[in-house]
Amino acid sequence: MKQQNELLPDKAFEVRQTADGSQTLYSDRVQEHYHSTFGALQESRHIFIQAGLLEAHRRKTSGLQAAGNNQTAATALTTEATQATRTTQVAGKTKSAEATQVAGTARSSNLPLKVFELGLGTGLNALLTMLEAGNLQLNLSYDCIEAYPLSPDLVQALNFPALFSEQDQKKAAAVLDFIHATEWNVRHTDPASHTRFTKFRGDFTSFEPTERYDLVYWDAFSPEKQAEMWTEELFASMYEHMETGGILVSYCAKGEIRRRLQRAGFGVERLQGPPGKREIIRAVKL
Ligand X SMILES: C[S@@+](CC[C@H](N)C(=O)[O-])C[C@H]1O[C@@H](n2cnc3c(N)ncnc32)[C@H](O)[C@@H]1O
Exactly one of 116, 142, 204, 218 binds ligand X (CB under 6 A); which one? Answer: 204
Exactly one of 52, 119, 209, 274 binds ligand X (CB under 6 A); which one? 119
18 binds ligand X (CB under 6 A): no
d(CA 172, CA 129): 11
Which residues ranging from 218 to 247 are in contact with ligand X (CB under 6 A)?
219-221
Pattern 140-169, ligand X, x by CB under 6 A: -----xxxx---------------------
Cα separation, 168 vs 170, whole angstroms: 6
Instruction: Provide the CA 248 distance to its chain's centre, in angstroms.
Output: 7
CB of 33 to ligand X, least distance (A): 8
Question: Could you tell me which of 225, 50, 20, 203 has the C-alpha nearest to residue 132?
Answer: 50
Distance CA 181, CA 219 (A): 21
**Nearest distance, CB of residue 58 and ligand X, angstroms:** 23
Residues 216 and 148: their CA atoms lie apart, in Å, by 19
Of 128, 125, 117, the residue nearest 199 (C-alpha):
117
Q: How many residues does the chain have?
A: 286
Shortest CB 221 distance to ligand X, Å: 5
In the list 63, 112, 121, 161, the residue contacting ligand X (rule: CB under 6 A) is: 121
Note the residues at the interface with ligand X (CB under 6 A).
Answer: 7, 34, 119, 121-122, 124-125, 145-148, 203-205, 219-221
